[in-house]
Structure 1
Amino acid sequence: MSVKKTIVRYNEGLFQTVEDDIVTEFPLTIYINNEEFATMVCTPAHFEEMVIGFLASEGVIRFRREIKSLKIDEEAGFAYIKIDGTINTQRNFSKRFIGSCCGKSRQFYFQNDVQTAKTSTSTVKLTAQQCIKLMEKMQEVSQVFKGTGGVHNAALCTNDEMIVGRADIGRHNALDKLYGHCLLNKIAVRDKVLVFSGRISSEVLTKAAKIGVGIVLSKSAPTELAIELAEDLNITAVGFIRGKSFNVYTHPERIIQEPEE
């Protein structure tokens, strides 16, 4: 997922020619029933997971079994999918829909988000120390980021352990890969935690709601709209997990004090 390139590095008054790891960027075009559907610019790894997670998050499928065939041509950069029925490949996926969310406030969604984003029913709770430890575990295994600094990292976790981690140049792609992994391996997500390296934007929060988790942990900050969406979708958003501190922005009842010894 990275290549070596010769660069010129400046450090403390000196220029030096060195070899550096550069993250790979790769376009993958998806065809559904022989019609072009979308092109994703991604890190070339875990293609099947990413495609399945993307189609599920867009509402094209709900389960892996709905895909009759899936072929990835990595050399040419194409994914060919067969599903039952037809799909409107001319659909405007960027058209906004303004509606009420859980009857609380008016929010902005893409049209397909209205049907696929789920209000969380998770009863999972984390201690403060578990939040910090899960972020540390995700960062410890992020080898591509350590080598290149050019990817987003995401992980699906239990209270104490990381189940699976994925990296990609696109934050949405990293989340789609996790979603696809869950669908392929029939992993229940309602009792899981999403750990993320980047900013919690409204789109990232909506993607987490589509996956179905109830807690999102991030090293970075949330946006105002992401906080509003998290409130409405019953998702606990935790940001700025750095060192021994963090901020809880929504539904703080899921983040609890350490048990007394």
Structure 2
Amino acid sequence: MSLQIPPSLLVRPDPTDPRLTRAVEGIDQSGAPVELRVVEERPLAIYLNSREILTAMTVGAHPEWLALGFLTNQGMLDGAEVTAVQFDEEAEAVIVRTAEETNHEAKLARATRTSGCAVGTVFGDMMEGLEGLTLPDATLRVSDLRVLSAAIARTPSLYLEAGAIHGCCLCRGPDPLAYFEDVGRHNAIDTLAGWMRVTGTGAADKTLYTTGRLTSEMVIKCALMGVPSLVSRSGFTAWGVEIARRVGLTVIGRMKGARFVCLSGAERVVWDE
């Protein structure tokens, strides 16, 4: 397979970055020693002002965008003015500062993590964000999907270098624009959301392509980002499909070669192939 970078791609994975992979020795099925590259996995603590929100396990490629995107997707920055995003490499932490304290810090301070209340509170806030949400009535061309799938598969990436990683790519029509990878698909989509916020990139005419499965949280995050179409080469959950239909998100799963399944928004798909 010939690897090439699409000219439209503004941000892409860097499989040559020595921080993101390391060499590991092993023994193959014949008993012979082998050396292979594997992705790194490191903790990243995310703070909102003085409150620690969570520690994420990440490959560590774009910590500032990951932290900012996570808080954005969780609805913790609605209406808040972000004054700084600071990454401390030694402490393995990112602090997102706002002009005034948000109500989420106080809410999480009252929650007990050991009982699962903090996680439930965060997910509940995401679900609340879907109320009254209206996504753009954007079309999705089947011919564009064919081009996108081939372009992303042929782009140099950590997946091709070492595997064990998920990717999310923001696209416009047949053109990939920004491609992020991480050990968790949620980290990849959060990093993308952070990049969109920093660059002021609009979502109304975009498609989100992901290698990960379409769970309820992935569907919710895509909808909250305002992206009208979500495509995955992997599978999906029943609740993910239900939420997509409820909010009017076009969802396509199991996209492999010329084959796929449309689960939601078929009326907005242009079947031009």
Same fold judged by TM-score > 0.5? Answer: yes
**2:26 maps to amino acid:** I
Structure 1 residue 179: Cα displacement: 0.4
The correspondence for 2:120, drawn from 87, 95, 107, is: 95
Partner of 1:42: 58
* Structure 2 unpaired stretches of 5+: 1-19, 112-116
Report the secondary structure of 2:67's partner residue.
Answer: helix
Alpha carbon RMSD of aligned pairs, Å?
1.9
Report the secondary structure of 1:94's partner residue.
Answer: helix
TM-score normalised by L of structure 2: 0.83
Partner of 1:101: none
Q: Structure 1 residue 162 and structure 2 residue 176: aligned?
A: yes
Structure 1 residue 135: Cα displacement: 2.1
Structure 1 residue 254: Cα displacement: 1.7
Equivalent-residue separation in structure 2 for 1:136 and 1:195 (angstroms): 12
Report the secondary structure of 2:75's partner residue.
Answer: coil
Percent of aligned positions with the same letter in both sequences? Answer: 25
Q: Structure 1 residue 69 and structure 2 residue 94: aligned?
A: no
The within-5 A match list for 1:229-248 is 229-248=243-262
Report the secondary structure of 1:213's partner residue.
Answer: coil
Partner of 1:145: 159
The structure with more strand, counted as a fraction of residues: 1
Partner of 1:221: 235
**2:32 maps to amino acid:** Q
The correspondence for 1:82, drawn from 97, 104, 114, is: 97
Higher relative contact order (CA 8 A, sep 6+): 2
* Kept after mapping to 2: 8 A contact 1:28/1:77: yes
Report the secondary structure of 1:222's partner residue.
Answer: coil
* Kept after mapping to 2: 8 A contact 1:120/1:213: no
Partner of 2:72: 56
Structure 1 residue 32: Cα displacement: 2.5
Report the secondary structure of 2:159's partner residue.
Answer: helix
Equivalent-residue separation in structure 2 for 1:228 and 1:153 (angstroms): 23
**1:76 maps to amino acid:** A
Higher alpha-carbon deviation: 127-136 or 110-119:
110-119
Q: Which aligned segments of 4 or more residues in structure 1 are displaced greater than 3 angstroms?
A: 117-120
TM-score normalised by L of structure 1: 0.87
Structure 1 residue 120: Cα displacement: 4.1
Higher alpha-carbon deviation: 174-183 or 115-124:
115-124
**1:183 maps to amino acid:** R
Equivalent-residue separation in structure 1 for 2:39 and 2:246 (angstroms): 36
**1:15 maps to amino acid:** G
The within-5 A match list for 1:203-214 is 203-214=217-228
Q: Structure 1 residue 25 and structure 2 residue 41: aligned?
A: yes
Superimposed CA distance per residue, residues 56-97 of structure 1 (whole angstroms, 9 cap, x where no aligned partner) = 11112147x82222210123211123223222242444227x
**1:112 maps to amino acid:** D
C-alpha spacing 1:38/1:163, structure 2 compared with 1 (3 Å) = same
C-alpha spacing 1:23/1:240, structure 2 compared with 1 (3 Å) = same
Report the secondary structure of 1:55's partner residue.
Answer: helix
Q: Structure 1 residue 185 and structure 2 residue 199: aligned?
A: yes
* Kept after mapping to 2: 8 A contact 1:142/1:153: no
* Kept after mapping to 1: 8 A contact 2:149/2:257: no
* Kept after mapping to 2: 8 A contact 1:195/1:217: yes
Equivalent-residue separation in structure 2 for 1:141 and 1:212 (angstroms): 26
Report the secondary structure of 1:29's partner residue.
Answer: strand
The correspondence for 2:126, drawn from 104, 113, 118, is: 113
Partner of 2:27: 8
* Structure 1 unpaired stretches of 5+: 97-108
